[in-house]
Amino acid sequence: MTNRYEKLKAKKELGKKLRARNSSFLRKKSNEKPKANWSDFKLKDDKLLLCTKGIVAKVIRDKIKVLVNNEIINCKLPIEMPKTLVSNLVIGDKVFINKENEVVSRSDRKTHLSRLRSEGATYSNKHIIAVNIDYAVIVATVAEPEFNAGLIDRYLILCQNGNIKPIICLNKIDLSDKRHPILKLYKEKLGIDVIEVSVKENIGFDKLREKIQHKTIVLVGNSGVGKSSITNKLLKSDDIKTQFVSEKGQQGKHTTTSSDLYILNKDTYIIDTPGVRSLSLIGIDKQDLQFYFDDFVEFKTSCEYRDCLHSTEPDCAVRRAVESGEISKLRYESYLRILESIS
Ligand code: GDP
Ligand code: ZN
């Protein structure tokens, strides 16, 4: 067992080295400079002390809007820094700005909400939509539209992939007393909080507010489940100190097209971008699904078939790892469930 593991590890290392060599070779060939990275611009502690901390609220071309002490400030990069670094900033990024309102450093990201760019895209060119999110509030409904477990499973994958904690918010409980049996599994087997609410009858919002206190959240879910209604409800609460609503300045009114970062109260933020909203349209390809399961990676290269989906294929290394306990059974069951839900 150890031997096989060691061998795989060595194989992975070799692959990494070859890829690194290839890319430096290609760069030399095209005279291209290595791409600038924020990790090259880490500041020493004494320099950081002279800067102000902020959160990226919006990036439009070379303009960066940063939230500093509940105020949005227009920032840019210092002239001497590579312009390409701007494209490496997304909503939620924690940055340091100097007295000239220039972004001089970016903190490492704790979590990320990403999607695959397009069909056939690989894990490495995923598109990051927002970062440093604590909770993804997956909004579902008891009815109108019908409860959609397959969609929740897909969001759970995105959460796992980006290290974000999911909460399921079951809305419109005024419409029915029936509950889908899978909710019990989410709660009891996966340990996910399920919070029942009704915007219409003002039920459950104390609990939801308490849960998201001092956190950065995104609301995701099918269209029509009530994401806007819930956001509005949360924003209209008495404890709103400030809020940021797009440049159009529609104070207090939640609009889906241009708003980005809302402040509920100190340290509690709602991120809402068209990117996050359209996530419900994500189509994960059967073959791509396994890329979302980091814990499968080291095993799947030993499967008999190169295009193994790790379900019924013979001599599947992933299934063997599940049997030996190296991959969690729950994770594998979740994988199979999603695989089945993808047509
Ligand atoms: P979004 O597309 O997810 O942003 O959903 P909306 O917030 O636009 O809500 C879709 C529809 O559901 C609207 O007509 C809302 O009035 C309605 N709705 C939202 N919350 C509730 C609720 O708790 N109960 C009922 N019965 N309808 C609701
Ligand atoms: Zn397999």
In a domain, 3, yes or no: no
On whether both 238 and 291 belong to a single domain, the answer is no
For residue 234 the two structure tokens come to 């949360």
Which carries the bigger pLDDT value, residue 180 or residue 274?
Answer: 180
Q: The domain containing residue 233 runs over which residues?
A: 112-272
From the CA of 111, how far away is ligand 2's center (Å)? Answer: 28
Q: How would residue 288 be classed by pLDDT, with cut points 50, 70 and 90?
A: confident
From the CA of 255, how far away is ligand 1's center (Å)? Answer: 14
On whether both 97 and 213 belong to a single domain, the answer is no
From the CA of 223, how far away is ligand 1's center (Å)? Answer: 9
Q: Which atom of ligand 1 is nearest to the CA of 223?
A: 2
From the CA of 141, how far away is ligand 1's center (Å)? Answer: 9
Of 193, 214, 201, 215, residue with least CA distance to 140: 193
In a domain, 266, yes or no: yes
In a domain, 44, yes or no: yes
| N-to-C CA span, the chain | 36
Read off the pLDDT of residues 173-192 as tens digits, 9 standing for 90 and up. 999 999 998 898 788 877 89
Of the three residues 247, 272, 297, the one that is the final residue of a domain is 272
On whether both 227 and 87 belong to a single domain, the answer is no
Look at 49-58, 156-165, 198-207, 242-251 and tell me which has the smallest mean pLDDT: 242-251
Q: Is omega for the bond preceding 145 within 30 degrees of 0, making it cis? A: yes
Q: What is the mean pLDDT of residues 211-222?
A: 93
165 in Cβ contact with 247 (< 8 Å): no
Around ligand 1, the residues with Cβ closer than 6 Å are 171-172, 174-175, 198-200, 223-229
DSSP string, 119-145: TT--GGGEEEEEES-SEEEEEEESSSS
* Smallest-distance ligand from the CA of 311: 2
H or E stretch including 167?
strand 165-171
Helix (H, G, I), strand (E, B) or coil at 81: coil
On whether both 214 and 243 belong to a single domain, the answer is yes
For residue 216 the two structure tokens come to 């950065």
> 152: phi > 0 → left, psi -120 to 50 → alpha, else beta; which?
alpha
On whether both 99 and 116 belong to a single domain, the answer is no
The CATH number that applies at residue 78 is 2.40.50.140
Q: 96: which strand partners?
A: 53, 105
> With 80 as the cut, is the pLDDT of residue 292 above it?
no
Q: Which atom of ligand 1 is nearest to the CA of 198?
A: 23
Neighbour order of strands in the sheet with 71-75: 71-75, 63-68, 52-60, 94-97, 103-106
On whether both 77 and 121 belong to a single domain, the answer is no
- What is the total count of domains within the chain? 3
> With 90 as the cut, is the pLDDT of residue 235 above it?
no
- Chain-centre distance of CA 99, in angstroms? 31
In this structure, the residue with its CA closest to atom 18 of ligand 1 is 226
On whether both 96 and 123 belong to a single domain, the answer is no
What span, in angstroms and rounded, lies between the C-alpha atoms of 5 and 93? 36
In a domain, 295, yes or no: yes
For residue 263 the two structure tokens come to 């402040």
What span, in angstroms and rounded, lies between the C-alpha atoms of 37 and 34? 9
For residue 325 the two structure tokens come to 């306990």
In this structure, the residue with its CA closest to atom 15 of ligand 1 is 226
The CATH number that applies at residue 137 is 3.40.50.300
From 229, 233, 272, the mutation candidate for ligand 1 (largest count of ligand atoms within 8 A of CB) is 229
For the entire predicted model, the pTM comes to 0.75
In a domain, 86, yes or no: yes
> 172: phi > 0 → left, psi -120 to 50 → alpha, else beta; which?
left
On whether both 188 and 266 belong to a single domain, the answer is yes
Q: What is the mean pLDDT of residues 11-30?
A: 56
Read off the pLDDT of residues 125-156 as tens digits, 9 standing for 90 and up. 567 889 999 999 999 999 999 998 777 877 88
- Chain-centre distance of CA 180, in angstroms? 26
Of the three residues 106, 133, 158, the one that is the final residue of a domain is 106
In a domain, 16, yes or no: no
On whether both 177 and 290 belong to a single domain, the answer is no
On whether both 231 and 264 belong to a single domain, the answer is yes
From the CA of 140, how far away is ligand 1's center (Å)? Answer: 11
70 in Cβ contact with 119 (< 8 Å): no
Look at 68-72, 115-119, 244-248, 295-299 and tell me which has the smallest mean pLDDT: 244-248
Percent of the chain with pLDDT over 90: 42
In a domain, 70, yes or no: yes
Q: How would residue 275 be classed by pLDDT, with cut points 50, 70 and 90?
A: low
Percent of the chain with pLDDT over 70: 76
* Smallest-distance ligand from the CA of 314: 2
The per-residue pLDDT for 222 is 83
279 in Cβ contact with 114 (< 8 Å): no
Read off the pLDDT of residues 195-208 as tens digits, 9 standing for 90 and up. 999 999 999 999 99
On whether both 249 and 315 belong to a single domain, the answer is no
The per-residue pLDDT for 281 is 45
Q: What is the mean pLDDT of residues 214-240?
A: 83
DSSP string, 8-59: HHHHHHHHHHHHHHHHHHHHHHHTPPPPP-GGGGPPPHHHHTTSEEEEEEEE
Of the three residues 75, 106, 137, the one that is the final residue of a domain is 106
The CATH number that applies at residue 307 is 1.10.40.50
In a domain, 268, yes or no: yes
Q: Which atom of ligand 1 is nearest to the CA of 197?
A: 23
On whether both 291 and 254 belong to a single domain, the answer is no
Helix (H, G, I), strand (E, B) or coil at 203: strand
Name the burial class of residue 327, with classes exposed (0-12), middle (13-18) and buried (19+) by CB atoms within 10 angstroms of its CB. Answer: buried
Read off the pLDDT of residues 296-315 as tens digits, 9 standing for 90 and up. 888 999 999 999 999 999 99
- Greatest alpha-carbon pair distance for the chain in Å reads 65
From the CA of 5, how far away is ligand 2's center (Å)? Answer: 16
From 137, 155, 196, 199, the mutation candidate for ligand 1 (largest count of ligand atoms within 8 A of CB) is 199
